[in-house]
């Protein structure tokens, strides 16, 4: 494995990809406790084991131009939890939650931590910065989360990076969207799922 490449694989190995140019400053490694991430991951038996006791999922947010699907694009599935919600990507083969995206206009790919296949993950991307949407956790969070950055600090870092990625051209190419902005897999709208 190249030192600056983070390998990705669904549970059965049919979908494989990578993140290039990886280093601790490239993106944001967070724990998300929002109801929608929990609802999405919980839809799949494979996903349920990746939610922590408080209902959080680990996500690594990176610029789209750094993410590539190398094998198995034909196994990608996509859904939305509301008409205006995020695109939530999963594997049709083994029902592994993979990514969250918001289309071409908002340049980020949120990679679920369990889709990352790298024994040196922490060394490549750094520690978890902290948790977001902790008020939606299933039980009170009493322990420190990673570096324990506050939600405002994480959100301001994310906003700065989104602008930087857009201005610096890191929003394209995006392996999950056509140049027209259409998702490469038509998202199914799935509503009324309990979290």
Chain centre distance of CA 127: 16
User: pLDDT tens-digit profile of 119-160?
Assistant: 888 888 999 999 999 999 999 988 888 888 988 999 999 999
pLDDT given for residue 146 in this prediction: 85
Which one, of 21, 135, 42, lies nearest residue 88 by Cα?
A: 42
Helix, coil or strand: residue 75: helix
Query: What are the domain boundaries of the chain?
Result: 6-189
- Cite the beta strand spans of 33-107 per DSSP E: 57-62, 67-71, 76-80, 87-91, 97-101
Query: So what's the architecture of 6-189 in CATH?
Result: Beta Complex (2.170)
* Mean confidence (pLDDT) of the chain: 91
Q: Is 112 exposed, middle or buried (0-12, 13-18, 19+ CB in 10 A)?
A: buried
Helix, coil or strand: residue 158: helix
- pTM of the entire structure? 0.93
Instruction: Look at 69 and 119; give whichever has higher pLDDT.
Output: 69
């Amino acid at each position: 494995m190249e030192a600056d490449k983070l390998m990705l694989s669904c549970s059965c190995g049919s979908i494989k990809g990578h993140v290039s140019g990886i280093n601790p400053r490239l993106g944001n490694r967070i724990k998300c406790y929002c109801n929608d991430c929990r609802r999405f991951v919980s839809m799949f038996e494979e996903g349920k084991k990746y939610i922590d006791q408080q209902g959080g999922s680990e996500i690594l947010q990176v610029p789209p131009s750094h993410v590539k699907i190398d094998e198995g694009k034909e196994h990608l599935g996509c859904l939305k939890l509301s008409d205006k919600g995020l695109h939530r990507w999963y594997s049709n083969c083994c029902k592994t939650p993979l990514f969250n995206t918001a289309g071409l206009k908002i340049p980020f790919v949120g990679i679920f931590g369990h889709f990352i296949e790298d024994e040196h993950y922490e060394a490549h991307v750094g520690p978890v910065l902290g948790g977001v949407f902790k008020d939606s956790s299933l039980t009170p969070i009493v322990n420190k989360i990673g570096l324990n950055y506050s939600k405002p600090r994480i959100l301001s870092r994310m906003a700065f990076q989104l602008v930087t990625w857009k201005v610096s051209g890191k929003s394209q190419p995006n392996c999950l969207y056509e140049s027209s902005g259409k998702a490469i897999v038509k998202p199914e709208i799935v509503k009324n799922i309990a979290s």
